[in-house]
Amino acid sequence: EGGGTLTLCVRPNAETGLAEISVQDTGCGIPPEILRRIFEPFFTTKTADQQGQGGTGLGLSLARAVMEAHGGRIRVDSAVGAGTTFTLKFPLVAQPAIIPTKPLQKVG
């Protein structure tokens, strides 16, 4: 019954120094009023099913946090009736981790 298409594309961009991964579907798309909130923690459009299963609304907010922690970014473009594209961009070259340091407390 009327399946859609899912396209995964991975490409490095030497000019920008970024790798780009995009996932595109030809599904129903996401309405603008939902699209604006899609990365908010705990935001979900799904209600619990008969077994009480529902989403927590944390997946996309965690994905954004992980991407940003690694110097990358994630974005979404969507058109109702045409589909949705998620794009992840992150540095090609590993960057040293920035770990905040605090002085150690002397014990005893």
Q: What is the pLDDT of residue 41?
A: 95
Euclidean distance between CA atoms 21 and 40, whole angstroms: 21
CB atoms within 10 A of CB 78: 19
Answer whether residue 103 is part of any domain: no
**For the chain (length 108 residues), average pLDDT per consecutive 10?**
84 90 95 95 77 80 95 96 96 69 69
CATH, residue 25: 3.30.565.10
pLDDT of residue 100: 67
Which domain covers residue 10, as residue numbers? 6-46+53-91
Residue 96 confidence (pLDDT): 64
Residue 83: inside a domain, yes or no? yes
Total structural domains within the chain = 1
Residue tagged 């965690």 (tokens) = 62
Provide the pLDDT for residue 93.
72
Give the pLDDT score at 50.
57
Number of Cβ within 10 Å of residue 24's Cβ equals 16
Asked whether residue 104 is domain-assigned, the answer is no
Query: What pTM, to 2 d.p., does this model score?
Result: 0.75
25 within some domain: yes
Cα end-to-end distance, the chain, whole Å = 71
